[in-house]
Each structure stands twice: as C-alpha cells, then as structure tokens.
Structure 1
Amino acid sequence: MDGTSPPISPWFNRDAFNDVLKRNKPVVCALSASYISTFVGYPLDSLKSRLQTTKTRMPVLTLAGIVYREEGVTGFYRGLWIPLVTISFVRAASFTIYSSTKEYCRKNSYFTGDRASDAALAGGLSGALSGSLISFTSAPFELVKVRRQLEYSIAATKGVQMVKPPNTIDAVREIFRTHGLSGPWIGFRLHFVRDTAGTALYFFEYDAMRHLLGRQRSGEQGPTPAWLPIPTSLIPFVCGSLAGVSSWALIYPLDVVKTKVQQRALAGTPPKGVWETLRRLVRGPDPKDPKPVLAGIARIYRGLGVSAVRSITTHGLLWTIFDITSHYIDHLP
C-alpha cells in the first residue's frame, strides 16, 4: 500500500470532470442556483399571477386559503416543471450571454474603469443583450406557465365549470389547437420589452451594488465599505434581493398588462391593445365613469407585495448559491 486513495471509479476521471466544470462555470452555477431558487419561490409566483388577474381586491393569505381549499398544495405548484426544467436552462443561457458579453467588454476595454458607473453600464448592456435574445425561447414556456396558473379563471371567463384541470401537455395542445403555430408567442412583444428592460435593469443594479460593496473589477471580493460592514457571505443575497425587487417594481405594470393580454387571448375574449388594456386597468372599463387614478395605480400594483417577497427569496438565493458554486469551482484542483 502506498498510502494513496483509490480512484472513485475506473470510469471516472476527476481531473477531466473538474476541467469540464471550469470551462462551463456560468452554466453550472446558473443551473444549480436556478433549480433551488425556482422551487422555493414558485408558490409566490403562482399567487402573484392570480392576484394580477382577479377583479376584486383580496389579501394574499385569503387567496392562498382559497387555492389550498379548491386545489390543494398542488395548486401552488401547478405548472412547476415548466420553469424548473426549461427556465432553469434559459437562465443558464442568459448567464452565459451575460458573462460572455462582459468578458467581450473587458477584452476590448469597454467600461473597464474602476467606477461604479462602468461596472453598472457593462452589466446593463450585457443584461439587455441577454434578455432580448433569451426572450425568443422563454416566451412560449412562460405562456404555458401562465395558462396553467390561471386555468380556473380562464375557465370561469369562458363560462365553464372546471372539474379537473388539464395537465401541461393538454394545455399546450389546447394553445396550438385554438391559436395555431403562433399560439405559444401570444403577447410576445410585451414579453420581449419586459425581458430586455427588466434584465438590463437587473444586472445594471446588481453589478453597481456589488462594486459599491467591495467587489473588484477582477471579480474578487474585497472588504466591505465602512457604511455597510456586513459579512461578505451576505453580499450576494443583499445585492441580488435589492436588484430583483427594485428592477421588478419598475417593470411590474408592464408584466401586469402582459398577463392580462395573455389571459384574454387564452380565454377567447376579444383582444384589446396594450394602451387600451392599461387604460382599462387604471381607469376602469367604463370611460364615462372612470375610477380614481390612484385606485387604478393601486390595482396595477396588486400582487407587488407577494412578488417582492418572491424576488427577495429567489434572487437572494440565486446569487448566494451562484457565488458558492462559483467559489467551489474556482478552487478545484
């Protein structure tokens, strides 16, 4: 015996495996972080979609109780496998585009100064490119997710008493049967604008905050500033949460309009334009008896509270796990 440990398996090459992890670090980090954060935050996302489309104001806990009574625990996770299996891969592609664009900027000396504005602009540009490209593939998956989440309200709009909701495959078939080959891209323009602007804002804010909290342009984390002396392990969670909440709050009205447009299309009701949908949400359906503007704005932001909690949870976890995985891969032999 020479004292060395035997290989794990004659078919397993640790060095080759570590090399694969290092070469595909953005994908590995994004996938591992996405699976966990998506599963944790999905019930809140489901409640958010329902709050956006209900006509009456309802406390979150009341709605959660109704969902539990009528649909059980599975009601909160209806359509989960779609984002769990697909959006996680979409997010991996998004992070890869984001990382590659930032690397391109670094190699060509774009936004490479040691200022927060340079870090923010590099992140915002990379995020905008990532969001716009990924929207072409993420739009159909999100439409199916919305279809699953709003099955009961869509059935009620059609005047149908739903006994057993269709599964995901049946929902996809129904979209193609009713709307043809272009069906999965219902509301795509709004989805494209939302994802491009939202992803740009998100990475713009995240990279700016990480720079302010001590991350160097090389990627290494330095000491935190005196005005916020928090443990370095909490920095990804804090920056991810703040970036997720603030960017989502800015584009939230657009997401509400998108969901409403998609709901009407899926329910087979006459379509309305973007501005008409927004006007009706803010001022009500009767132009002769408009609702107060503040009440309409409050309706637009219905569900923002639960959405904010979801963003804090999912984006905080996302970046925390992303950084842990990244640190692990960087220190592999």
Structure 2
Amino acid sequence: MQSFRLDDFIAGWIGGASSVVVGHPLDTVKTRLQAGKGYKNMFHCVLTIYRKETAMGFFKGMSFPLASITVYNSVVFGIFSNTQRLISKYRYGDGRRPCSLLDLTVASMLTGLASVGLGAPVDLVKIRLQMQTQTLLTENLHLAGHTNMTVHSVSLPSSRLYRGPVHCISSVLQAEGVSGLYRGAGAMVLRDVPGYALYFIPYTLICDFLTPDPNATPHPCSIWLAGGIAGSISWVTATPADVVKSRMQADAQLQRKYRGILHCILHSYRTEGAQVFFRGASVNAVRGFPMSATMFLTYEMSLQFFRSL
C-alpha cells in the first residue's frame, strides 16, 4: 500500500468547501466579537449585523474563503492522513496499521504547524474583509487638531479599504510586504498546533467508541456526531489564542496598535480584563459543531467514494 495518497487531498477539498458554506455566517459573528467593538454578546452582534447590513452581511468575505479554505482543508486533511501512514510505516513497517494515541498526537501537531504557512494569509485576508464595515474607534485614528475630542467612535461606512480579496492582498503587500500577510502567524501556531490535536484525537476516539468493530466502516451518523463534538472541543479550547490572532490580523487597517503577540495579550488584558480571551467562545462552540460535522462527514463520504472506484 502506498504511504502517500492524493485522494485525501481531494476529499479534504470537497469537505472544506461544504464547511465554509455552513460555517461562514457564524465565523463573521466570531470575528466581529473578537476584533470589533460595540457588541454586547453573540445575539446582539447577530442582530446588529442583520439590521445594518442585511443577511448578506453574514457572508461578507466568503468568496475568498470558499476559494482558499477549500485548498487549506485539502492540505490539512491530506497532510494529516499521509503523516499517519508515514508514521505507521516507519514505526511498525505497515502504513495500514492504526496509529496509537501518541502517533495521532504527533501527526495532529505536525499538521497544525504545517497549516500555518497557508492558513495565516488566508485568515488575514478573510478577517480584513469581514471587518470592513466595523465602526472605527478614534483611538485608531490620527485626528489632527482634535486630540481632545469626546466622541468615542466614528462610523465610516463608505470608507472601504479593500475592493476584494485580490485588492486586499496587493494592498497588504504594498504597505507591509510579505511579512504583512503573516501577521498573527505566531498566534496561529499557538492556536493550531494544540488545536488540531484536540480536533483529530477526539474525532478518532469518538468514532472508535461508536464503532466497536475495528474492521467496520463508521456509520455516517457516527462520523457526523464525532466530527461535530471534536469541532466544538477544538474551537472552544482554541478561543484565547484565536482572539489574539484575530486582533493582530484585524490590526493595522488604519494604525497599528499591537507590537506583537505579548503586547496584544497584555494590552487586551489591561483594557478589557481576562474575559476578553473568551470572547466568541459561545460562537465557536455553536459554529464548531455543524461546520466540523459537515467537514468530516463530507470528507469521509468522498474518500469512500474515491476508493470504491
């Protein structure tokens, strides 16, 4: 049996596309809660977006994730599955042998590390587009001659920095260089290395628990449930690092506020308290279930189809 298989990448691409459509509306809410201002809670954020931007506001910036996150998920699932087989072949001499818990952990963490190279620019562009209609705070503006203004915020609905994904990428490259596309990558490593371990391991364990026969193929309902639970666990535990990542990537639209990861953490804590690092956790829990359930189910079904040909 070959250690490297291309069908894992193709199935991951299909699963990624389905998960973007399901998860993007709540992803927009999560980003606004984490990097924006003026929202009391998840429901207030949802109502505010709907009232000011209609239902289309929830799908803002979706074209780029649909085109790019599909590729990203293809890489993630392809790397994870092929890494498992390589580890089994190296350790046991048989790539078909099921991985141990340690093997799964290593494969998951390596996948998380590798995913940042592609995922950081994708997330940055997505977040910049999602934040375009966010009310801009005066603390982020240079208002010459108005240093004593008592106004706390100013809405600039027509001030669109980016016309679309391509324009966003070119603008970031011109203003900040290639390193600008990887702003927040360090926080993404802190999120994804442990995050993918808490994504793939619970999924595997729950699937195994729901499928006692090791030779049987997991039932679609088992895949759906295991994927949903794994997604909620992973996203909730990753929320603190995700908050830091979102803030750093949304930063620098007008004036850079954070000098680095540590400064972002300290500044956020001093100004908003420890609860800021759990902002969007409820959205992540709700969003993580259907998005990951769809992702895993579509991935596994696609993989079964390709391997039956």
Taking structure 2 as the reference length, what is the TM-score of the superposition?
0.83
Instruction: Tell whether 2:102 aligns with 1:121.
Output: yes
Pairing partner for 2:16 from 7, 31, 34:
34
In structure 2, how many angstroms separate the alpha carbons of the residues matched to 1:30 and 1:185? 23
In structure 2, how many angstroms separate the alpha carbons of the residues matched to 1:210 and 1:141? 30
Instruction: Tell whether 2:267 aligns with 1:271.
Output: no
> Counterpart in 2 of 1:316?
293
Q: Kindly tell me: are residues 147 and 298 of structure 1, through their superposed partners in 2, closer, same or farther at Cα, counting changes over 3 Å?
A: same
Instruction: Tell whether 2:33 aligns with 1:51.
Output: yes
Q: Is the 1:239–1:316 contact (alpha carbons within 8 Å) kept by the matching residues of 2?
A: yes
In structure 2, how many angstroms separate the alpha carbons of the residues matched to 1:167 and 1:217? 52
Instruction: Tell whether 2:87 aligns with 1:91.
Output: no
In structure 1, how many angstroms separate the alpha carbons of the residues matched to 2:199 and 2:17? 19
> Counterpart in 2 of 1:15?
none
> Counterpart in 2 of 1:145?
126
Taking structure 1 as the reference length, what is the TM-score of the superposition?
0.77
Aligned residues: 288
Worse overlay, 257-266 or 315-324: 257-266
Structure 2 letter corresponding to 1:184: L
Secondary structure in 2 aligned to 1:152? coil
* Larger of the two Rg values belongs to structure: 1
What does 1:165-244 correspond to in 2, within 5 Å? 165=160, 166-168=162-164, 169-214=166-211, 220-221=216-217, 232-244=219-231
In structure 1, how many angstroms separate the alpha carbons of the residues matched to 2:211 and 2:251? 47
Q: Is the 1:51–1:303 contact (alpha carbons within 8 Å) kept by the matching residues of 2?
A: yes
Q: Is the 1:49–1:149 contact (alpha carbons within 8 Å) kept by the matching residues of 2?
A: yes
Structure 2 letter corresponding to 1:210: C
Question: What's the CA shift for 1:90?
Answer: 1.4
Question: What's the CA shift for 1:307?
Answer: 1.6
Structure 2 letter corresponding to 1:100: N
CA deviations over 1:73-109 (Å, ceiling 9, x no partner): 3221111121111111111111111111111122234
> Counterpart in 1 of 2:150?
none
> Counterpart in 2 of 1:20?
none
Q: Is the 1:26–1:92 contact (alpha carbons within 8 Å) kept by the matching residues of 2?
A: yes
Q: Kindly tell me: are residues 272 and 179 of structure 1, through their superposed partners in 2, closer, same or farther at Cα, counting changes over 3 Å?
A: same
In structure 2, how many angstroms separate the alpha carbons of the residues matched to 1:74 and 1:66? 13
Secondary structure in 1 aligned to 2:134? helix
CA deviations over 1:141-161 (Å, ceiling 9, x no partner): 110001011123374443672
Question: What's the CA shift for 1:56?
Answer: 4.3
Q: Is the 2:191–2:238 contact (alpha carbons within 8 Å) kept by the matching residues of 1?
A: yes
In structure 1, how many angstroms separate the alpha carbons of the residues matched to 2:212 and 2:24? 30
The RMSD of aligned alpha carbons is 2.7
Q: Is the 1:111–1:122 contact (alpha carbons within 8 Å) kept by the matching residues of 2?
A: no
Q: Kindly tell me: are residues 77 and 221 of structure 1, through their superposed partners in 2, closer, same or farther at Cα, counting changes over 3 Å?
A: same
Pairing partner for 2:239 from 246, 252, 255:
252
Tell me, which stretches of 5 or more residues in structure 1 are unaligned? 1-22, 223-231, 286-295
Question: What's the CA shift for 1:57?
Answer: 4.8
Q: Kindly tell me: are residues 57 and 161 of structure 1, through their superposed partners in 2, closer, same or farther at Cα, counting changes over 3 Å?
A: closer
Instruction: Tell whether 2:285 aligns with 1:303.
Output: no
Instruction: Tell whether 2:307 aligns with 1:330.
Output: yes
The percent identity for this pair of structures is 25
In structure 1, how many angstroms separate the alpha carbons of the residues matched to 2:249 and 2:222? 37
Question: What's the CA shift for 1:60?
Answer: 2.3
